[in-house]
Structure 1
Amino acid sequence: MTMTTKLAWDDTVLPFQLDRSDIRGRVSRLDTTLDQILSQHDYPAPVEAMVAEMALLTALIGQTIKLRWKLSLQVRSDGPIRLIATDFLAPEAEGEPARIRAYASYDAERLDETAPAFPQIGSGYFAILIDQGKGTTPYQGITPIGGESLSACAETYFAQSEQLPTAFKLSYGRAQEPGQDEGWRAGGLMLQMMPEASLEAANEPTSEDGTLNAEDLVSKDKAEDWSRANILMQTADEMELIGPHVSPTDLLVRLFHEEEPRVFDSLPVAFGCTCSEDRVRQSLSIYSAKDIAHMTTDEGRVTADCQFCGAHYDFDPLTLGFEAEKAPDGSPA
C-alpha cells in the first residue's frame, strides 16, 4: 500500500459524537479532491498550502451544516496572499458526493516563496457565507484574521459569531513514495461542543484583543470534558491524520475510546464546479449592447474564465446582454 493508493476513507467526511462529553466532531481525509483543486492552478508553495488548509476546513465545516446549496469560506487581506475562496456545494441527490472548489489570488511580487505561508496573509477578515438557494436570504459572518493559522481564524469565528466552542487539528502536504507520483493529501479533526453544553457568551473574553475563544464559552461543569477531548485530539500525529494505514474509525477509537465515540454515515466529497456557458450568459444578461462592446476583444469575441476550475468560455458578443441581436445558437433573436 502506498501513500497515493486510493482508499475507501479518502475524500470523505465522517461525523461522530463523543457521548460521554456532549461533543460532536468530524474527521476528514482529502486526497484526489485536493489534488484536483490545486491542479487547476499553478500556485507557489505558500499559496498552495493555504488553499489546502482552507479546502480541508471547508470540508469539515460544510458537513456540520444542514445545507441545501452552498457554504463559502473567504479570506480577504492586505498581504501578498490577498484572497482565498472556497465553496462547499451540497450533494444534489442522496448518495452523491458534496463538491468542493477553491481558488486564490496573490501578489507575486510581494510573495516570499521561502517564508511561512500564514503570515503572508496579513491583516483582513475571515468570513463564512451560507446560501440555501433561491428564495432565501444568504447569511454572512465575519471575524478578523488572527492567531497563527486559518484553523485558528475558524475557531475564533465560531466563538464570536456562533458562540460554539470549536477546535481543529489539521495536517496537509505533498506525499510520495518510490515509483509513485507525488500528490497532495490532507486530513483533520474538528471538535465542537453541543450548543446546550455551552454558555451564551456569559464569560468575559480572556484574549488580549477582546475576542471570545472556545474556553470562554464552555460552562464550568463541561470545562474538564472540553479540555480532555482537546488534549486527546492534539495527540493525533501527521501520519494518523493523512496517512493511508489508519482508518478514521480506528483513529477515533485510539484517541477517544474512553469518551464513547459514536460514528454516523460518512459523506463522500469530490472536486466540482458549478460554472457553465448558460451561467456565464445569465451573468452577462444585465448588460447593454454598449457595455458588451466594451468587453469585446480586438478579435471580436467576449471571453470569460472560471477562477475555480479554469474553464474558458468564448462568445459572439451579438448573443449577449439584454439587447442581444442573436440567440445563443446564432439564429436571429
Structure 2
Amino acid sequence: MLGSKIAWDDTVLPFQLDASDIRGRVVRLDGVLDTILSQHAYPPEIEALVAEMALLTAMIGQTMKLRWKLSLQVRGDGPARLIATDYYAPTAEGEPARIRAYASYDANRLLPRVDPFSQIGKGYFAILIDQGKGTTPYQGITPISGGSLSACAETYFAQSEQLPSRFATTFGRSQLAGGPESWRAGGVMLQKMPKASPFAPKDEADDDGLLRAKDILNEDDFEDWNRANILLDSVEDMELIGPQIHPTDLLVRLFHEDRPRVFDPQSVEFGCNCSEERVRNSLSIYSAKDIAHMTTDDGVVTADCQFCGAHYVLDPKTVGFEAGDDTDGDAD
C-alpha cells in the first residue's frame, strides 16, 4: 500500500439501513482535499472550515443527478467571511464527480487557537442546486446555528426538506509509514427516509424557531433514528479516516443489526469549470471606461480563479460590451 492510492480514497459510498428506513453515505477524501487546500496558504482555522465543508459537499452531492451542480455557501460577519464549495455531478454514468472549494477571510480579525466555527459569527448556511439550462436554480437558506457546519446542514435538512439528518466528520493531516504527510478526511451521513403515514409530524419548532429531528418524527420513527444516532456516536476518528478500515466494514461494525446494504460507490476528484470564456462573459457587463479602470500598467486585464488558481490575461480591447467583434488579442 505504501506510495499507492487506497482503493476507497476519494469516494462516496451510498448505503441503506433496511431495518430502520435510514439511508446514508460514507465518504473518504484525501487527494481531493489535498488539492483544494494547496491552492491557498490558509491558516489552520480556515483549513478546518474548508475541510468540513468539502466533506459535507461530497456527502450531500452524491444524490445529484447527472450534470447537476450543487453549491454550498456559508456567509458570516466574523473573520471567516465566506466558505463556498461546488459539486459537479458526473456527465455520464461511471465518471467521477468533481469538487472545488474556496474561503474568504479577514486575516487581521482571526483569533488563533479559537474554535474555527465561532469565527463565522452570525450569518447563514445555504444550499443551491442548478439542474442546468432552462431550469430555475433552487436555493434554501438557514441561519448559522449549532456548533459546527455539520450542525448547520442538519438544521437545513430539518427546516427545508423535513428530513432528519446527521453528519459525523473528522479530518486532519496524517502520514502513512514511508509516505509524505497529506490531508485525510472521512465522514458518515444518516438521513431518515420519508414514508407515507396517516400521522402528520408534530412540526413544532424548538425555542430558537428551528426544527430538529424530534419535531418531525413520530414516536416509532424517532426510536429507530435515536438508536442509529447513538451507534454513530460510538464511531472513532480512526474508523472514519483510517486506511485499514474499509467503509463497508465500518458500516457492519456500526449498524449490523439494521441490515446495512451498500450501492455503487461514486468517485470524486478536484475539478474547476473556470475558463477564459467565462471570464469574458463576466466582464461583458462593463463599459470601455470600466475596463480601462481594470487595466494594469502593463496594458492588460487580469483575472484569477480563487478555486483553482488559474490566471487569465486579456487584451482590454477585446472585453466588455463595447469591445465589438475583434477578438484577435486573446489571453496569453
TM-score bracket, shorter-length normalisation: over 0.9
Deviation at 1:236, TM superposition (A): 1.3
Distance of 2:78 and 2:248 partners within structure 1: 39
Number of the residue aligned with 1:245: 244
Return 5+ residue gaps in structure 1 as ranges.
none
Residue by residue over 1:255-301, the C-alpha shift from the partner in whole angstroms, topping out at 9 and shown as x without a partner, is 11110111111100000000011111122223222221121112211
Closer/same/farther in 2, CA of residues 281 and 201 from structure 1, 3 Å limit: farther
The 5-angstrom pairing of residues 16-31 of structure 1 reads 16-31=15-30
Opposite residue 290 of structure 2, the aligned amino acid is D
Distance of 2:93 and 2:305 partners within structure 1: 28
Opposite residue 327 of structure 1, the aligned amino acid is D
The 5-angstrom pairing of residues 303-314 of structure 1 reads 303-314=302-313
Deviation at 1:201, TM superposition (A): 4.8
Number of the residue aligned with 2:123: 124
Distance of 1:122 and 1:135 partners within structure 2: 36
Distance of 1:109 and 1:200 partners within structure 2: 50
Distance of 2:97 and 2:36 partners within structure 1: 14
Closer/same/farther in 2, CA of residues 330 and 177 from structure 1, 3 Å limit: closer
Q: Quick check: 1:129–1:139 contact (8 Å CA) kept in 2? A: yes
Opposite residue 214 of structure 2, the aligned amino acid is E
Q: CA RMSD in A?
A: 1.7
Opposite residue 286 of structure 1, the aligned amino acid is I
Opposite residue 167 of structure 1, the aligned amino acid is R
Q: Quick check: 2:12–2:62 contact (8 Å CA) kept in 1? A: yes
Residue by residue over 1:14-56, the C-alpha shift from the partner in whole angstroms, topping out at 9 and shown as x without a partner, is 1000011011000000010000000011100000000000000
Whether 1:302 aligns to 2:301 is yes
Number of the residue aligned with 1:202: 202
Distance of 1:131 and 1:277 partners within structure 2: 22
Distance of 1:5 and 1:236 partners within structure 2: 26
Number of the residue aligned with 2:11: 12
Residue correspondences, number: 329
Opposite residue 47 of structure 2, the aligned amino acid is E
TM-score, normalised via structure 2 length: 0.95
SS of match in other structure, 2:291 = helix
Residue by residue over 1:40-80, the C-alpha shift from the partner in whole angstroms, topping out at 9 and shown as x without a partner, is 11100000000000000000001123353210000000111
Distance of 1:317 and 1:82 partners within structure 2: 31
Q: Quick check: 1:22–1:197 contact (8 Å CA) kept in 2? A: no
Number of the residue aligned with 1:157: 156
Deviation at 1:302, TM superposition (A): 0.5
The 5-angstrom pairing of residues 55-70 of structure 1 reads 55-66=54-65, 68-70=67-69
Q: Quick check: 2:314–2:329 contact (8 Å CA) kept in 1? A: no
Opposite residue 317 of structure 2, the aligned amino acid is L
Number of the residue aligned with 2:46: 47
Q: Quick check: 2:85–2:99 contact (8 Å CA) kept in 1? A: yes
Distance of 1:200 and 1:329 partners within structure 2: 64
Q: Quick check: 2:78–2:122 contact (8 Å CA) kept in 1? A: yes
The 5-angstrom pairing of residues 263-282 of structure 1 reads 263-282=262-281
> Equivalent pairs: percent with the same residue?
71
Deviation at 1:181, TM superposition (A): 1.6
Distance of 2:309 and 2:67 partners within structure 1: 25
TM-score, normalised via structure 1 length: 0.95
The 5-angstrom pairing of residues 203-222 of structure 1 reads 203-205=203-205, 207-222=206-221
Closer/same/farther in 2, CA of residues 322 and 301 from structure 1, 3 Å limit: same
Opposite residue 182 of structure 2, the aligned amino acid is G
Distance of 1:287 and 1:51 partners within structure 2: 32
Residue by residue over 1:206-260, the C-alpha shift from the partner in whole angstroms, topping out at 9 and shown as x without a partner, is x331210112111222111111111111211111101100000111111111101
Deviation at 1:180, TM superposition (A): 2.4
Distance of 1:298 and 1:242 partners within structure 2: 49
Opposite residue 56 of structure 1, the aligned amino acid is L
Distance of 2:122 and 2:285 partners within structure 1: 35
